[in-house]
Structure 1
Amino acid sequence: MKFVKNRYSVLLGFGAVLLILSFLVRTVLLVWAFPQSGLRLSHLPAIYGKGLIYDAGVALFFTIAYALYLLLLPQRLNNTLFNRVFTYTGFFLAMVILVFSFFAEFTFWGEYSGRFDFIAVDYLIYTYEVISNINQSYPLPLLIGGVLLFTALITWALARRGVFRNSFQSNTPFGKRLLIFAVLAGLMFLHIFLINNTWAEKSKNRYAQELSKAGVYSFISAYLNNELAYDKYYLLEDDNSAFSRLRTLLQSPDSHYLAAGNTIYRSITDTATRVTPNVIMVTIESFSADFMDRFGNTGHITPVLDSIAKEGILFTNMYATGTRTVRGMEALTLAVPPTPGQSIVRRKKNENLFSVGQLFEQQGYESTFFYGGDGYFDNMNKYFGNNGYDITDRLRHKLVDDHITTTRTNIPDSAVQFENAWGVCDEDIYAAAIKSADQKYAAGKPFYDFVMTTSNHRPFTYPSGKIDIPSGSSREGAVKYTDYAIGQFLKKIRTKPWFKNTVIIFVADHCASSAGKNEIEISKYHIPCILYNVPGAAPQEISTMCSQIDIYPTLLGMLHWTYNSKFYGKNVLEPGYQPRAMVSTYQKLGYLEPGKLLILSPQQKAQCFSWNKERNEQRATAMDSTLLKNSIATYQTAYSLFKNGGMAK
């Protein structure tokens, strides 16, 4: 930067370093992803061209405040101790943030194969869990020391080249400073109005999309767009037409609608004798179907689940609605499709909804949500507590008022044998659920429990001596411990007097990874689900394509319940059931039928694909008008019902 001998040499030096580091990060991620990405050389111009524009935008956002400072700083203060301290300090702090964000991009990519998104925004908000997780997953002192050392080297290198000296010793006239600031501000505003993160998503290859983005830019974009308005960004039908089609899709031989118009409120009727067992749903963190031997895994890391899959009712063709725990919770508690943006669990005005917990509560059950961490995270306590569930969690944030309308119970230290950043180990959360079940049974109260596990989550740590894979060493170890804990749970409850009248559901919240060659990689949504100990039900496999949202309508059908419903889920075993599933990212809404996938996306776009499950191939194909109308009817009405109070109990 010796040739820049004016007040802006530090600003330009910072911008140059940012662009160089961004280029290197993008290149490393490209090399990392290339073997499984399906990328071609023809993707590179867009990846690097768009990437440069996003990086330039980040540089502008980082430096515009400093540019204003340089504009207003009087010349007599330019070479003073005050300006030197301010400039060196500001440069160093900004570079620390930049370097740390680049490091975080590698770790985030390793977990999600993408640039920062809503997950990163969430992680910034919930600092305790995230900092603890980082500390347990990585050598934090070395990490921070490395970031500071690297930043110091960059600062020293630029100082050696005279970048700071040129700025301090310059005499740049006010008119020239005003012109430079006007140009920079103009470029920034042009960037704001002309460029957005969706520009990177024009490629059909998901990796090409993510690689062309900039991490910091994507983070800010995600922060500003937590919720997407379906009626603003997506294809629409007339509301009456959309609801009419949806009502036809949801109609079944045993149901009739309780009101006309834009509602799905209906009565489900069964004339057989109703069975009312207790129900415990174990929701397994990040558990892909392909972890199990039944679905092709050769590591034999799930002997318990593979065994009970043969004894219970196994859904072999079920798909999660999303890629995050809160999305799975939304599907498993409300039986509704995903809507763009955040899960309903995280949104405002999500109380008193027509939920599974409320339904069981109406039938005299006590519904409880069990979580091994602090349910303050991801708004879980407020959501469950205001939708019919009592709460049992770790209660770390003792001063936080969750504004819940039910009872909250703490898991005491004395009941914890192992704990990491995300909560107690699976054995401990099962122990809490068993203790609660004993108490409810003794009081003569039927119970419905939602148990959320955490052990199958980075840093993949668990109690030592339980399995033959060291704690913290791998995802496979966490999966094997998760399976082991399920075995211990079943061993204990089989001795309980309430076991013979208790259905156990084992289902994943989502898969371990959502990354793939396509915008929505269907195989990355395939999850296992087992209904175990269902009264009078023989072991079987259900191979019909279905969704997480279908679990409770199917179970209640098997138990011969008559009830009113606002669920989008259907009984998979009923005559005339039409196979379909909903899969999504935060912006992409997928509607899946056997051999076909339709994706709705912002800017009123829709794409249709053929899908070969055996080869995991998706190919663009001509639009299927019926599939399109079914997709729009499903997602548009779900958004409308939630926003307008139609999902309330």
Structure 2
Amino acid sequence: MAQKVKFPARFSILIYFIVWFLIVSFLIRISFFIWEYDQVSWSFTDVARTLATGLFFDVGAVAFVSLPAALYYAILPNPLVGSLLDKIVVWFFTSLTVFILIFTFFAEFTFWDEFKSRFNFIAVDYLIYTYEVIANINQSYPLPLLISGVLLLTAGLLFLFYKEKAFARTFTGKPKFLERIASLAVVILVVLFYTGFITNSSAEWSANRYNSEISKDGIYSFFAAFRNNQLQYERLYTTISNDKAFDIIDARLEGENVHFTAKDTHSIHRVISDSLSPGKKSNVVFILVESLSASFMKEFGNDDAITPFLDSLAQKSVFLDNLYATGTRTVRGMEAVTLSIPPTPGQSIVKRPDNANLYTVNNVFKSKGYDCNFFYGGDGYFDNMNAYFGGNGFTIYDRGRGSILSDKIKTTRNNIEDDEVTFENAWGICDEDIFNKMLSVADKQYASGMPFFNFIMTTSNHRPYTYPDGKIDIPSGTGRQGTVKYTDFALRELFAKAKAKPWYKNTVFVIIADHCASSAGKDEIDIANYHIPAFIVNLEGQEPLKIKKQCSQIDIFPTLFGLMHWSYDTDFFGRNVLEPGFEERSLMGTYRKLSLMRGNKVMILSDQQKQASYLWNANDNSLKPCPATRSFLDETIAWYQTADYLFNHKMLK
């Protein structure tokens, strides 16, 4: 009769740990199902597959986590088993691992609350920028209570292991050599299998994004994102020939006032000519507002009265009311407006190596004699902002905490001092303070006689949702609606103060969101959660205008330059939406999904060379699969393939 196969007693703690990990991971998955009960698919087959896929990835995750312990148990000689050294090592590292994992399991819930996703590349970024993240957690949650709870749960679990005599068996079990090797081999083989044959994208089996995300394991997803933080378009996505791709994009960028100058067909370099050039030389204050969804405004049906000032601006500005962000993170918005480029897969160009001396909007302003500055209320080291803006010719004003720029970056960096700050949280100073800093710098620029381009990135509309007391009728720290209303208030105060300045009459203000407050939905690309407002305010001689054309974040500066009647060189993918030949479209992406929308037709490209075609229903924000035309697929490919090609071949320099 065959003997029952079992691990040696020496591995008892490891077995208990693995079982605990799998049980907790299952409970987390069930919790997410309940949390998103109205979004997930509850069909029996979908639930079963979600749970089965989840278990499969949990096994992979726990194998990776368990490998160091399995190695230790296998190689420690029997004479040292149960020694004081052995007990110290096992107790310490078991306790530390359990503590970290319990904290991680708690973090999964907070991450899901913010992003409706298991850990991804955003979590990897957050691991790098520890100051902002820890401060944000501390200001958003009762951190001492949280740590105490984690310690209590850790102690409880270790006590359970102790009561079950798992520690006793681990310290008394003295396995034979073959038993050690066999036990270790099982763990190593599992790790090698997942490393060599399984990718995190294998969990994305469902058309319902929530089922796919719940199928993942958070820890496995984190390390998958850590390993694949930049994606190679040509290897992972459907392609066409570069000649064809550039021919398609050149045709989309043609116009009566456009002259392509490059002899190389793999280029989009051209000159935009305006018959009224040199046009207006107005100062430009550009405000990229954190997480300003269009859905917050009364203009788009919101009845909460949290954007009264912005709603009033919509009636007396050039207001783009059918504009879509390119991505779901601040660095994507920065990339879109400064480079006017579609979102290439992986990290934003703002965070990539070798992103200095690119052809950005700064080059256009510099060619007109402008003084160009970047204002950020936090530490610009976060998300590589200082390196990107400094490396592309901006003078930096930020709330730095000692980080320095590379010696290769030729720029000036100015700190925002304590006496200029009235309120500050984890992400930076309040919007009023950063606006006041810009106003003081603008006064000096005006006195010097130079026109200025001042780029401001706001921070207030972000968790922990705190702002100065007494400014609005919603208490600080109570939620998103309060920060939206405070940001609206701060913008009103900015204009009130700016109107008293001698330079105001000749200054145009551009306000646009970096991305929406939420980006998650059950579909691959949640279209409604890319819809953002944009305003061009106080342009001399310009009558109020509501632009209904579907357009993209990448079009904001080409439209402004058109309204100012500028002639300029450009490598931008964006166009002036007011040109007669402008073709309506928007470009939206995630870390791995890339889409083109024309009207209600949507094409989505995915890695593994996949693509899908949909019709978007704006009434319920749903995507319905539909047959794709080859021309629409080729155009979608062309936008992203050419953008990726130009950056990676250093042709945006």
Is residue 267 of structure 2 the alignment partner of residue 263 of structure 1?
yes
Corresponding residue for residue 519 of structure 2: 514
State which drifts further: 270-279 or 560-569: 270-279
Is residue 632 of structure 2 the alignment partner of residue 637 of structure 1?
no
Residues paired across the two proteins, number = 646
Mapped to 2, the partners of 1:354 and 1:20 lie a distance apart of 52
Give unmatched runs, 5+ long, in structure 2: 1-5
Give unmatched runs, 5+ long, in structure 1: none
Mapped to 2, the partners of 1:623 and 1:444 lie a distance apart of 55
Matched residue of 1:35: which SS?
A: coil
Is residue 566 of structure 2 the alignment partner of residue 557 of structure 1?
no
Measured against aligned partners, the alpha-carbon deviations of 1:284-322 in whole angstroms (never above 9, x if no partner) come to 001100000001111000000001110101111100000
Corresponding residue for residue 58 of structure 1: 61
Question: Deviation of residue 535 (structure 1)?
Answer: 1.8
- Residue 103 (structure 2) aligned to one of 100, 103, 107: 100
Question: Deviation of residue 39 (structure 1)?
Answer: 4.9
Is residue 642 of structure 2 the alignment partner of residue 604 of structure 1?
no
Matched residue of 2:315: which SS?
A: helix
Equivalent positions of 1:66-77 (< 5 A) are 66-77=69-80
Question: Deviation of residue 624 (structure 1)?
Answer: 2.0
TM-score by length of 1: 0.98
Measured against aligned partners, the alpha-carbon deviations of 1:152-181 in whole angstroms (never above 9, x if no partner) come to 100101110111111212231111111111
> Contact (CA 8 Å) 1:253, 1:575: kept in 2 or not?
no
Measured against aligned partners, the alpha-carbon deviations of 1:321-354 in whole angstroms (never above 9, x if no partner) come to 0000000000010000000000000000100011
Mapped to 1, the partners of 2:418 and 2:409 lie a distance apart of 23
- Residue 474 (structure 1) aligned to one of 470, 475, 479: 479
Corresponding residue for residue 3 of structure 2: none
Measured against aligned partners, the alpha-carbon deviations of 1:426-452 in whole angstroms (never above 9, x if no partner) come to 000000110111100011000011100
State the AA in 2 paired with 1:297: N
Is residue 93 of structure 2 the alignment partner of residue 90 of structure 1?
yes
Corresponding residue for residue 208 of structure 2: 205
Question: Deviation of residue 517 (structure 1)?
Answer: 1.4
Equivalent positions of 1:588-627 (< 5 A) are 588-627=593-632
Corresponding residue for residue 370 of structure 2: 365
Is residue 225 of structure 2 the alignment partner of residue 233 of structure 1?
no
State the AA in 1 paired with 2:135: S
- Residue 145 (structure 2) aligned to one of 123, 142, 147: 142
Measured against aligned partners, the alpha-carbon deviations of 1:425-479 in whole angstroms (never above 9, x if no partner) come to 0000000110111100011000011100000000010000101111111100000
Question: Deviation of residue 400 (structure 1)?
Answer: 5.9
Corresponding residue for residue 161 of structure 2: 158
Is residue 33 of structure 2 the alignment partner of residue 30 of structure 1?
yes
Is residue 585 of structure 2 the alignment partner of residue 580 of structure 1?
yes
Question: Deviation of residue 530 (structure 1)?
Answer: 0.7
Question: Deviation of residue 380 (structure 1)?
Answer: 0.3
- Residue 190 (structure 2) aligned to one of 187, 192, 199: 187
State the AA in 2 paired with 1:203: S
Mapped to 1, the partners of 2:198 and 2:74 lie a distance apart of 26
> Contact (CA 8 Å) 2:349, 2:355: kept in 1 or not?
yes
State the AA in 1 paired with 2:551: C
Question: Deviation of residue 70 (structure 1)?
Answer: 1.2
Equivalent positions of 1:109-508 (< 5 A) are 109-260=112-263, 261-273=265-277, 274-398=279-403, 401=406, 403-508=408-513
Matched residue of 1:486: which SS?
A: helix
Are the structure 2 counterparts of residues 399 and 563 from structure 1 closer, same or farther at C-alpha, using a change threshold of 3 Å?
A: closer
TM-score by length of 2: 0.97
> Contact (CA 8 Å) 2:387, 2:406: kept in 1 or not?
no
Measured against aligned partners, the alpha-carbon deviations of 1:511-561 in whole angstroms (never above 9, x if no partner) come to 001111101100010001011111211111101000000011111111111
Matched residue of 1:95: which SS?
A: helix
Question: Deviation of residue 580 (structure 1)?
Answer: 0.6
> Contact (CA 8 Å) 2:513, 2:532: kept in 1 or not?
yes
State the AA in 1 paired with 2:119: F
Mapped to 2, the partners of 1:39 and 1:519 lie a distance apart of 18
> Contact (CA 8 Å) 1:38, 1:517: kept in 2 or not?
no
Question: Deviation of residue 638 (structure 1)?
Answer: 0.3
Mapped to 1, the partners of 2:281 and 2:37 lie a distance apart of 53
Measured against aligned partners, the alpha-carbon deviations of 1:36-64 in whole angstroms (never above 9, x if no partner) come to 34554432122111111111111111111
Question: Deviation of residue 614 (structure 1)?
Answer: 2.6
Are the structure 2 counterparts of residues 244 and 493 from structure 1 closer, same or farther at C-alpha, using a change threshold of 3 Å?
A: same
Mapped to 1, the partners of 2:511 and 2:407 lie a distance apart of 28
Question: Deviation of residue 73 (structure 1)?
Answer: 1.0
Matched residue of 2:354: which SS?
A: coil
Mapped to 1, the partners of 2:174 and 2:355 lie a distance apart of 59
Question: Deviation of residue 366 (structure 1)?
Answer: 0.6
Mapped to 2, the partners of 1:368 and 1:504 lie a distance apart of 15
> Contact (CA 8 Å) 2:523, 2:622: kept in 1 or not?
no
State which drifts further: 272-281 or 487-496: 272-281
Mapped to 2, the partners of 1:253 and 1:535 lie a distance apart of 25
Mapped to 1, the partners of 2:618 and 2:82 lie a distance apart of 67
The two structures, once aligned, show a CA RMSD in angstroms of 1.2
Mapped to 2, the partners of 1:42 and 1:562 lie a distance apart of 59
- Residue 18 (structure 2) aligned to one of 4, 15, 20: 15
> Contact (CA 8 Å) 1:322, 1:584: kept in 2 or not?
yes
Percent of aligned positions that are identical: 48
> Contact (CA 8 Å) 1:255, 1:266: kept in 2 or not?
yes
Measured against aligned partners, the alpha-carbon deviations of 1:176-233 in whole angstroms (never above 9, x if no partner) come to 1111111221111011112110101121111011100011111101111110000110
Matched residue of 2:628: which SS?
A: coil
